[in-house]
Amino acid sequence: MARKMGADEIVPAGNTDSVARVKELTGGLGADVVIETAGTNQTMIQAYEMVRPGGTILQFGIGPSTVEGIPAQAYYFKDIAVIGSRAGLAEDFGRAIALVASGRIDLEPIVTHHFPLDDIQQSFEFIESGGDGGTLRGVIQIGEK
Domain locations in the chain? 18-84, 108-145
Local mean pLDDT, 10-residue blocks, the chain (145 residues): 80 80 94 89 91 94 84 86 84 90 90 92 90 86 78
Q: Of 80, 1, 90, 72, give the one whose Cα is nearest residue 37.
A: 1
- State pTM to two decimals: 0.69
Question: Would you give the DSSP letter of residue 134?
Answer: S
Residue spans of beta strands (DSSP E) within the chain: 31-36, 51-59, 81-84, 111-116, 137-141
CATH of domain 18-84: 3.40.50.720
